[in-house]
């Protein structure tokens, strides 16, 4: 591919420019977000629950349109896409949902085969080879005949991962991939995210609040709070950050910018017997 | 003054409730239109629809056949009791057949279908929504309405008239068992009077039309409630209940409208 | 449930449903006595139709040979047609 003057711009797979969003115009969930995700990198978006990171992921996915600003994903503005265009864009993306979201009425094999069946006309043996290849990559080729209800949480998530890479996507999105996993599965998923990203030549975005695990995997971090990006940098920079919120988050302190107590009236006043 | 304020509040809430229901109906109609337009997948990959005919139709067979049998038998018992007072016991076949074919077949089968298959469809779609399976499908560039909802809709619409016919047939058989075998009405009179009184076009076809209309109504409500359900356990369970209640009311209301149109000299009878 | 088993049951179900419909049409309804022999319209005027309704049987020698198609009021002769 020729280097064009635009190559600088297009080396970012995702560009979020001044994006704001709110389900209800009076209560914006995202305010003026700016980020660039470079091709081939693994990027983490971290923050407290409710800071807007999952909403941001949905905007990147094209499920929501920004109320203000632009989201450019894989070279296309999500705001300008019609349904056909959106589907075309999504065929180049893979997404891992929080608990896997496997189709419960199909076997593991059928789940991974699903995107291949829907989007490609493949002869059965080629399909079989591809599905087994993907399952092998996540270490679950032996589980091909099982049903999702028979899988443990970690296994289900790995199958979902295999499904999301079935079409060799250029961009892989992870929504809280580490939630509720045991330490071994943690390590497995983290390793897979890195390995798959590099072997597929893809770009990955991880939304999570599992700091320690994620910091070991990502190349770059964006830290969000209350709908804004309040810090960004490499894992080393974030760990050393003196920004109070980041500090509290990374070190798991119970006091800091995020207070322990939910706002409440004066304690003494609350304990007094109610006025007649 | 207090009372006026309270009354006003009640009225406002009533108005808001009515508005939201009307809004919801509009939303449901657009959903149906979208569903029908995007039914290509359900028809091209008929396998999917066949699977849904199995889940909605075949799995409802037992309850439909058994209920049909019992309803027919009760009709014969009750009918005989009244008819023989007028010396019209030979018309028992007519009574049983017309009641079933015109009314009880489509209506009761519809109600049973709504509670068995309708609630199952709502629960299934609602659960898929709650566990993000529908979103996952969207993300894989597959339209969940075309892939998941449409086959269920057509499966229900196809199953319903068949179930209604089977209900009526079983009912007539049950009526025959009780009327002829048990009570002793003359078999020949039973069948011949029935044949003379039940008209193909006006009774049977109208009954089929009713069951098709009910099938569309019930399945539409079932898939919509499932698709629209809040993605929580409570949301899905409430949606399932709403399906059964709304479908049942819709069947009864539509039955009145259709009966008035079809069976009371509204048309020219032919 | 594998695919062929589902197909089998759906086939049985649809066949049974159609059989039920056929049963209703033939044994219960009057399809059997549906003859396509050429029919002709007969018009008759009455001073009073009594309890006559549409679809009432028209009999000759006690055998049903037709049905009342329509009952109208003739505006000119002020009789029932």
Contact B133 A101 (CB under 8 A): yes
pLDDT over 90 at B120, yes or no: yes
The dihedral through the CA atoms of C25, C26, C32, C33 has a sign that is negative
A102 contacts chain B (CB < 8 A): yes
pLDDT over 90 at B269, yes or no: no
Spell out which residues of chain C touch residue B204, defining contact as CB-CB under 8 Å.
21, 24-25, 28-29
Q: How confident is the model at residue A73 (pLDDT cuts 50, 70, 90)?
A: confident
pLDDT over 90 at A31, yes or no: no
For residue B190, give the chain C residue with the closest CA.
Answer: C28
Q: Residue B226, Cα to own-chain centre: how many angstroms?
A: 17
Lowest mean pLDDT: which of A222-226, B43-47, C65-69?
C65-69
Q: What are phi and psi of A84, to 5 degrees?
A: -60, -45
Query: Considering the entire predicted model, what is its pTM?
Result: 0.83
Contact B169 C54 (CB under 8 A): no
Spell out which residues of chain C touch residue B166, defining contact as CB-CB under 8 Å.
16-17, 20
pLDDT over 90 at B218, yes or no: yes
Interface of A with B in 161-200 (CB under 8 A): 163
Spell out which residues of chain C touch residue B168, defining contact as CB-CB under 8 Å.
20, 24
- Any idea what DSSP says for residue A263? P
Concatenated DSSP letters for A78-143? Answer: GGG--HHHHHHHHTTEEEE-TT----TTS-HHHHHHHHHHHH----HHHHHHHHHHHHHHTT-GGG
pLDDT over 90 at A11, yes or no: no
Min Cα distance B2 → chain A (Å) is 23
pLDDT over 90 at B265, yes or no: no
pLDDT number for residue B127 = 94
Other Cβ atoms closer than 10 A to A191: 13
Spell out which residues of chain B touch residue A93, defining contact as CB-CB under 8 Å.
139
Lowest mean pLDDT: which of A179-183, B14-18, B197-201?
B197-201
3-state SS assignment for residue B45: coil
Place of tokens 């009327």: B179
Which member of A97, A114, A115 has the closest CB to residue B132? A97
Residues A164 and A112 sit within 8 Å (Cβ to Cβ):
no
pLDDT over 80 at B32, yes or no: yes
pLDDT number for residue B220 = 96
Place of tokens 């995997």: A217
Lowest mean pLDDT: which of A6-15, B39-48, B78-87, B90-99?
A6-15
Q: How confident is the model at residue C37 (pLDDT cuts 50, 70, 90)?
A: low
pLDDT number for residue C79 = 57
Q: How confident is the model at residue C41 (pLDDT cuts 50, 70, 90)?
A: confident
Min Cα distance B157 → chain C (Å) is 13
3-state SS assignment for residue C81: coil
Lowest mean pLDDT: which of A19-23, B11-15, B125-129?
A19-23
Question: pLDDT tens for residues A187-212?
Answer: 888 889 999 999 988 999 999 888 88
Other Cβ atoms closer than 10 A to B127: 18
pLDDT over 80 at A183, yes or no: yes
Output the average pLDDT for chain B.
91
A228-233 and A220-225 beta bridge pairing: antiparallel
Mean pLDDT of all residues in A15-44: 84
3-state SS assignment for residue A233: strand
Contact C20 B165 (CB under 8 A): yes
Residues B110 and B211 sit within 8 Å (Cβ to Cβ):
yes
pLDDT number for residue A236 = 85
Min Cα distance A157 → chain B (Å) is 13
Contact B139 A61 (CB under 8 A): yes
Q: How confident is the model at residue A250 (pLDDT cuts 50, 70, 90)?
A: confident
For residue B62, give the chain C residue with the closest CA.
Answer: C13
3-state SS assignment for residue B85: helix
The percentage of residues in chain B with a pLDDT greater than 70, rounded to a whole number, is: 98
- Any idea what DSSP says for residue C29? S
Residues B246 and C35 sit within 8 Å (Cβ to Cβ):
no
Instruction: Using alpha carbons, select from A204, A210, A197, A96 the residue that is nearest to residue A156.
Output: A96
pLDDT number for residue B174 = 94
Instruction: Using alpha carbons, select from A221, A210, A164 the residue that is nearest to residue A187.
Output: A210
pLDDT number for residue A3 = 40
Q: Most B CBs within 10 Å: which of A118, A157, A171, A173, as the mutation test of the B interface? A: A118
- The DSSP H or E segment spanning B34 is helix B2-37
Min Cα distance B131 → chain A (Å) is 6
pLDDT number for residue C76 = 63
Q: Most A CBs within 10 Å: which of B38, B40, B133, B141, as the mutation test of the A interface? A: B141
B132 contacts chain A (CB < 8 A): yes
pLDDT over 70 at B207, yes or no: yes
Contact C16 B166 (CB under 8 A): yes
Which member of C17, C28, C34 has the closest CB to residue B101? C28
Q: The complex's ipTM?
A: 0.81
Spell out which residues of chain B touch residue C15, defining contact as CB-CB under 8 Å.
none
Mean pLDDT of all residues in B203-231: 94
With both helix axes pointing from N to C terminus, report the angle between A124-137 and A183-200 in degrees, rounded to the nearest 10: 130
Interface of A with B in 39-68 (CB under 8 A): 61, 63
Output the average pLDDT for chain A.
84
A68-73 and A42-47 beta bridge pairing: unpaired
pLDDT number for residue A100 = 85
Spell out which residues of chain C touch residue B194, defining contact as CB-CB under 8 Å.
28
Mean pLDDT of all residues in B212-240: 95
Contact A101 B140 (CB under 8 A): no
pLDDT over 70 at B160, yes or no: yes
What is the Cα–Cα distance from A228 to A51, expressed in whole angstroms?
A: 8
Q: How confident is the model at residue A5 (pLDDT cuts 50, 70, 90)?
A: very low
B138 contacts chain A (CB < 8 A): yes
pLDDT over 70 at B39, yes or no: yes
pLDDT number for residue A275 = 55
For residue A164, give the chain B residue with the closest CA.
Answer: B140
pLDDT over 80 at C58, yes or no: no
Q: How confident is the model at residue A266 (pLDDT cuts 50, 70, 90)?
A: confident
Which member of B128, B135, B147 has the closest CB to residue A97? B135
Instruction: Using alpha carbons, select from A95, A128, A94 the residue that is nearest to residue A110.
Output: A128
Contact B97 C17 (CB under 8 A): no
Residues C54 and B269 sit within 8 Å (Cβ to Cβ):
yes
Residues A257 and A242 sit within 8 Å (Cβ to Cβ):
no
C15 contacts chain B (CB < 8 A): no
Min Cα distance B120 → chain C (Å) is 18
Instruction: Using alpha carbons, select from C66, C17, C15 the residue that is nearest to residue C43.
Output: C66
- The DSSP H or E segment spanning A30 is strand A30-38
The percentage of residues in chain A with a pLDDT greater than 70, rounded to a whole number, is: 95
pLDDT number for residue C29 = 59
pLDDT number for residue B266 = 46
| Most trustworthy range by pLDDT among A211-215, B91-95, B144-148 | B144-148
Residue A56, CA distances (Å) to A51, A149, A272, C62 in order: 10, 30, 45, 83
pLDDT number for residue C75 = 63
Mean pLDDT of all residues in C43-72: 70
What is the Cα–Cα distance from B140 to A143, expressed in whole angstroms?
A: 22
- Looking at per-residue pLDDT, the higher value among C25 and B102 belongs to B102
Mean pLDDT of all residues in B76-99: 90
pLDDT over 90 at C2, yes or no: no
3-state SS assignment for residue B139: helix
Spell out which residues of chain B touch residue C64, defining contact as CB-CB under 8 Å.
196
Q: How confident is the model at residue C59 (pLDDT cuts 50, 70, 90)?
A: confident
Instruction: List the Cα angle B261/B264/B266 in 5-degree steps.
Output: 50
Mean pLDDT of all residues in A66-95: 86
CA-atom Rg of chain C in angstroms:
22
Question: pLDDT tens for residues B232-250?
Answer: 999 999 999 999 999 999 9
Question: pLDDT tens for residues B51-74?
Answer: 999 999 999 999 999 999 999 999
pLDDT number for residue B184 = 85
Min Cα distance A61 → chain B (Å) is 8
pLDDT over 50 at B212, yes or no: yes
For residue B51, give the chain C residue with the closest CA.
Answer: C6
Which member of B50, B51, B101 has the closest CB to residue C24? B101
For residue C19, give the chain B residue with the closest CA.
Answer: B166
pLDDT number for residue B55 = 93
Which residues share a beta bridge with A228?
A225
């Amino acid at each position: 591919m020729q280097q064009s003057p635009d190559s600088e711009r297009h080396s970012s797979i995702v560009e979020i420019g001044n994006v704001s969003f709110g389900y209800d115009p009076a209560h914006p969930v995202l305010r003026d977000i700016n980020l660039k995700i470079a091709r081939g990198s693994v990027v983490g978006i971290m923050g407290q629950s409710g800071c807007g990171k999952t909403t941001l992921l949905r905007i990147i996915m094209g499920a929501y349109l920004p109320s203000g600003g632009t989201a450019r994903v894989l070279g296309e503005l999500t705001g300008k896409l019609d349904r056909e265009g959106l589907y075309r864009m999504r065929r180049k993306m893979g997404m891992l949902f929080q608990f896997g979201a496997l189709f419960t009425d199909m076997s593991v094999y059928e789940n991974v085969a699903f995107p291949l069946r829907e989007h490609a006309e493949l002869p059965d043996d080629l399909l079989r080879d591809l599905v087994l290849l993907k399952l092998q990559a996540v270490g679950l080729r032996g589980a091909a005949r099982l049903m999702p209800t028979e899988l443990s949480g970690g296994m289900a998530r790995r199958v979902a991962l295999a499904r999301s890479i079935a079409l060799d996507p250029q961009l892989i999105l992870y929504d809280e991939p580490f939630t509720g996993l045991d330490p071994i599965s943690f390590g497995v998923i983290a390793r897979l995210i890195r390995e798959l990203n590099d072997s597929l030549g893809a770009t990955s975005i991880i939304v999570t609040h599992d700091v320690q695990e994620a910091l070991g995997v990502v190349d770059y971090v964006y830290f969000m709070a209350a709908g804004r990006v309040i810090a960004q940098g490499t894992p080393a920079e974030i760990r050393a950050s003196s920004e109070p919120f980041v500090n509290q988050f990374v070190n798991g302190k119970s006091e800091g910018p995020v207070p322990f107590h939910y706002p409440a009236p004066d304690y003494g006043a609350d304990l007094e017997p109610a006025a007649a | 003054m207090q009372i006026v304020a309270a009354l006003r509040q009640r009225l406002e809430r009533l108005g808001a409730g009515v508005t939201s229901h009307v809004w919801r109906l509009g939303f449901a109609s657009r959903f149906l239109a979208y569903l029908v337009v995007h039914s290509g997948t359900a028809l091209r990959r008929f396998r999917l629809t066949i699977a849904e005919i199995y889940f909605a139709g075949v799995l409802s067979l037992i309850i439909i056949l058994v209920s049909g049998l019992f309803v027919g038998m009760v009709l014969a018992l009750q009918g005989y009791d009244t008819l023989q007072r007028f010396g019209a016991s030979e018309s028992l076949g007519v009574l049983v057949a017309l009641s079933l074919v015109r009314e009880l077949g489509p209506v009761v089968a519809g109600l049973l279908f709504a509670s068995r298959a309708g609630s199952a469809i709502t629960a299934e779609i609602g659960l898929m929504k709650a566990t993000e399976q529908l979103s996952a499908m969207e993300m894989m560039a597959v339209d969940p309405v075309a892939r998941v909802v449409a086959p269920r809709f057509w499966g229900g619409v196809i199953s319903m008239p068949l179930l209604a016919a089977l209900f009526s047939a079983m009912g007539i058989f049950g009526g025959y068992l009780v009327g002829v075998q048990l009570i002793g009405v003359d078999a020949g009179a039973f069948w011949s009077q029935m044949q003379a009184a039940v008209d193909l076009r006006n009774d049977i076809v109208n009954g089929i039309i009713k069951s098709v209309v009910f099938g569309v109504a019930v399945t539409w409500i079932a898939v919509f409630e499932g698709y629209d359900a809040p993605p929580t356990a409570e949301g899905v369970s409430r949606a399932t209940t709403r399906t059964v209640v709304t479908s049942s009311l819709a069947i009864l209301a539509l039955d009145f409208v259709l009966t008035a149109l079809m069976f009371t000299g509204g048309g020219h009878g032919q | 449930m594998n695919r062929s088993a589902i197909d089998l049951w759906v086939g049985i179900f649809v066949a049974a449903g159609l059989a039920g419909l056929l049963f209703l049409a033939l044994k219960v309804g009057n399809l059997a006595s549906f003859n396509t022999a050429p029919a002709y319209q007969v018009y008759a005027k009455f001073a009073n139709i009594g309890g006559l309704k549409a679809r009432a049987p028209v009999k000759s020698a006690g055998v049903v040979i037709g049905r009342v198609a329509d009952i109208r009021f003739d505006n000119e002769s002020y009789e029932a047609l």
